[in-house]
Structure 1
Amino acid sequence: MKLRRLVVLFFLLISMSISGCASKDVVNENKNNLIFQESISPNEQYVDNQEDVVHYTVEVYQENDDTLSIHAKSNSKLFEPLDYEFYIDKSFSKDDITVEWTTLMGSAEATKENQLCVAMVKVKGTNEAIKINFINRGIELIEDALAK
């Protein structure tokens, strides 16, 4: 029974991400040292209404010589804006920053049913990365439903 509920909630989550679930929540951006920005729209080719298009954005700000501030935001109600600080012990530039996008299951190949929703922010020359799940609230909703 729990497996059935999980499957139903998973498909509900996917359908909600396809429909957009627009939100007005935005991270406060008082900084002016933006060095990198990348945005994707995982569902743009699957929706009929432009209002339903979801956008995921990763912004990287240079705080000082060894600190990056990473901001993640989206117009989806399944995501709460996130902020991270990333410390590195070498100099860097915007060309050293990359974002690899994958699906929740870890595939780089997206489909209508398995859309991109995870960003892995990496800085060249370091072994660390920041993993950002753009459906974090959706997973919390599933966990809450399963706990009942």
Structure 2
Amino acid sequence: MELKVQTDGGVSFILPTFLKPRYSPADGGCSRDMEKIEGQNVMFVSKQYAYEVKAHVVGAHRIAQITSHSELLSVDISEDALSAERADSDPLVALVSKQRFDGSWLLEDVAELCGVACAVLGEWNPAKTEAAWATALALALLEKRHAEARDKWSLLATKARAFLSGCQ
């Protein structure tokens, strides 16, 4: 895919931060769960889903920076500045990237990031659900280990707290 060069010399690729899967039924029928969009009956899918975007940036011009206004990125730019790849070594990015669409975390992901056996964390679970326990632990990790970067993760913490409030 080619990206258009902006007036400042930069290029941008924009992925919507909100993706809502939808499909049109083959029979063309309509139910109350459907909406009319551009003349078609469209049903929105309510199941949870995840998406992952991977990119390897290579160009003839030197890369000055790679940024995102909506995601935490840790990027390694090559010495010659002609290529870049996502760095997986940042513990904050590792934690944030494991958050699920509904704002929760999985216990096995949090256990791996804590360096504790999943069974051990499961035994200490005071919450109603495993996802609620894992999410509470992930929020504690953010607060204890990444407090200095609160501006980078505060919105996803809000989403996690909303998930937890629905677990009561």
Question: Fold conserved (TM > 0.5)?
Answer: no
Higher-strand-fraction structure = 1
Task: Select the structure of larger CA radius of gyration.
Answer: 2
TM class, shorter-length:
under 0.3
Q: TM-score, normalised by structure 1?
A: 0.25
Q: TM-score, normalised by structure 2?
A: 0.23
Higher-helix-fraction structure = 2
User: Which has the higher relative contact order, 1 or 2, with Cα contacts under 8 A spaced 6 or more apart?
Assistant: 1
